[in-house]
Amino acid sequence: MLKRSRWIWVGSIGLVLVASLLVWLFFGERYVLAFQTVPDRKVNAYLPVSESDHFQLKFTHSVHLSDVFEEYEIRNEKLYPIQLIYEDTAIGMPSNAGEGETFEMKDGKYYISDLQGEFDSLSLTIGKIRANHTILYHDQSYPLKDYIEAGSFIEIEPEHITNWQWLRGVKMK
């Protein structure tokens, strides 16, 4: 009789552990920047983030061959532009700020801050030759071509995912 009750006890603990694992896998969530190819919406990589975090998208401008930095804040599953930093105002780059924004030059670079608007996602094509699109986050650099094939058209968007999705995806961190 004692052996039977022990097996029932062990079985109950096992059932609770399996149930807990399933709840964690399918109902536990993480907040990430998801990098997905378009149009198939296949997620290529995840970067874990937190609400109100900032990150930068750095790339080399195809004409000027100088670095451009776009800074964003992540809030409420949206991306809010914070500032734009670049070195040339010629082809493809603004020469002044929009209404409500600030334009200044410091140390040979142009800064546009107090940017307006919000985005559900950012769309871009991963450069094949010079662009070297890179995410800068918490003092770490994540070159996108290390995770996504160069030439791919992608969307970057903040979203909540399950731990199961997290385990199946490519982590950037």
Average pLDDT over the chain reads 85
Which amino acid would we find at residue 104? E
Q: What is the pTM of this model?
A: 0.81
Does residue 22 sit within a domain? no
Does residue 5 sit within a domain? no
Does residue 49 sit within a domain? yes
Half-sphere exposure of residue 112: CA atoms within 13 angstroms, side-chain side? 21
Residue 57 banded pLDDT, cuts 50, 70, 90: very high
> What pLDDT is attached to residue 28?
64
Supply 59's token pair: 């790339």
Does residue 173 sit within a domain? no
The domain containing residue 118 runs over which residues? 30-168
pLDDT digits (tens, 9 = 90+) for 127-162: 887 889 999 999 999 999 999 889 999 999 999 888
21's CB contacts (< 8 A; 6+ apart) are none
- pLDDT > 70: what percent of the chain? 84
pLDDT digits (tens, 9 = 90+) for 72-84: 999 999 999 999 9
Domain count, the chain: 1
> What pLDDT is attached to residue 13?
72
Eight-class DSSP state of 171 = B
